[in-house]
Structure 1
Amino acid sequence: MDKRTLKHALLAGSGGFLAILLLASLSQFGMAALIMAPFGASCVLLFALPDAPLSQPRNVIGGHLISASLGFAFYTLAPNTPFFAALAVGVAIAAMVLSKTTHPPAGANPLLFFLTAKPLSAWFLLTPVASGAILLVLIATLYHRITGKAYPAMSKI
C-alpha cells in the first residue's frame, strides 16, 4: 500500500467519522433527529469519492428527498407488503435517474418507512432527511476545504 492510498483512506474514514459523530451528537442533544442509516453510506461517497457525480450536493440532497418522499407516499397509500416496499424502491430509483439526482444510499430510504416498528410521519422528510442531507453536504464541503480538496466538483453542480 502506498502513502497516497493510506492518506486517502484515513482522510475518508475521518471525514465519515466526524460527519456521523456531529449528526448523531446534534440529534442526541438537539430537538430534532438528524441521522438515519443511509447517511452512513452517503458518507462513503462524500468522503471517499467526493468528485463522483453521485456525490454532488444535487444528488445527495435531491436523491434523499425524492426517494424518502416516494417511500412515505407508498407507505401512506399502499398496504405494508413486500410488493409495495419493493415497488417504492423501484419507483424511487427511476425518479432519481429521471431527475438526475441518483444517489445510491438514498435507494434505501423507502424501506425505512416499511421496516420501522413505529410508523414514520411526514416530518421524517424534514428531519432527518432534508436537514440531515443538507448538513452532510455542508460538513463535507467544510471538511474537504480544510483538508485541501475542492468539493463540490464545480463542473458537476
Structure 2
Amino acid sequence: MTADTEPPLRPAARAFAGSAVALVVAGAIAMLTRQPWLFPSLGPAIMLHVERPDRPESSPRNTVVGHLVALLAGYAFLLVTGLADQPSAVQEGVSGARIAAAAGSLAVTAAALVLLNAPHPPAGATTLIVSLGLLHTPAQLVVAFASVLLVTALDLLFNRATGRPMPLWSAPKKG
C-alpha cells in the first residue's frame, strides 16, 4: 500500500506518533540536563521528517547541514554586530544591530544552503533564534546542534520502523 492509497488516518497517526516521540525524548533530556534541547525550529524539522520523509529537505544530510550552517551564521552575526553578550530581542527590543544580525544571518544561511544544495527551510528559523539572541552562548549552540542530531536520528529510526523511506545522506538532484 503506497502513501497515496493508504487510509488518511494512517499518515496522521504516524505523524502524531513520530512527532511526539522525538519531542518527548528531547524534552526529557532538556528537563534532566536543564539545557535547551527543545527550541522552536525543531518542530518544523520534525514535521518534515515524519510527514514527508522522502523529500530532499527532509533528509538527514540537509537537516544536519542546514541547522549547522544556521547556528554558525547566527552566531557569527551576533559577534560581528556586538550582540553576543546582549539580552535577546525579546528582552531589549529590536535595534538596528539586531536587524543587521537577523538579516545577515538569514541571507548567509539561505545562500550557503543553495550553494551546498542542502535545502532545509527550518534552518531559517534556527538562524533567527540565534541572531535574535534566544540561544546565544557557544554551549547553547552545541546543545541545539546535539538536539538536531538526536531528533534526526530518532525520526530516521521511526520512519524505518514504520516502513517509510528516508534517504540517509543524499543531496537532492539538481534540476
Q: Report the TM range for the smaller structure's normalisation.
A: 0.7 to 0.9
Specify the structure having the higher radius of gyration (Cα).
Answer: 2
Cα distance 1:112–1:156, how it changes in 2: closer, same or farther (>3 A)? closer
Pick 1 or 2: higher relative contact order, CA cutoff 8 A, min separation 6.
Answer: 2
Gapped regions of structure 2 (runs ≥ 5): 83-96
Shift of 1:39: 0.3
Shift of 1:75: 0.9
User: Is the contact made by 2:98 and 2:132 (CA closer than 8 Å) also made in structure 1?
Assistant: no
User: Is the contact made by 1:53 and 1:156 (CA closer than 8 Å) also made in structure 2?
Assistant: yes
Distance 1:126 1:9 in 2: 32
Give 1:16-95 correspondences, 5 Å limit: 16-30=19-33, 32-79=35-82, 80-95=97-112
How many residues align? The count is 154
Matched, 1:125 2:141: yes
| 118, 136, 150: which one aligns with 1:101 | 118
Structure 1 length-normalised TM? 0.87
Listed one character per residue, the Cα deviations across residues 14-53 of structure 1 (whole Å, up to 9, x for unaligned) are 2111111110111111364322110001011000000000
Shift of 1:104: 0.3
User: Is the contact made by 1:67 and 1:96 (CA closer than 8 Å) also made in structure 2?
Assistant: no
Give 1:2-17 correspondences, 5 Å limit: 4-17=7-20
User: Is the contact made by 1:50 and 1:153 (CA closer than 8 Å) also made in structure 2?
Assistant: no
Cα distance 1:156–1:96, how it changes in 2: closer, same or farther (>3 A)? closer
Listed one character per residue, the Cα deviations across residues 45-101 of structure 1 (whole Å, up to 9, x for unaligned) are 000000000000110011000011000000111153213311211111111111122
Matched, 1:142 2:145: no
Gapped regions of structure 1 (runs ≥ 5): none
Structure 2 length-normalised TM? 0.79
User: Is the contact made by 2:59 and 2:168 (CA closer than 8 Å) also made in structure 1?
Assistant: yes
User: Is the contact made by 1:57 and 1:152 (CA closer than 8 Å) also made in structure 2?
Assistant: yes
**Which has the larger helix fraction?**
1
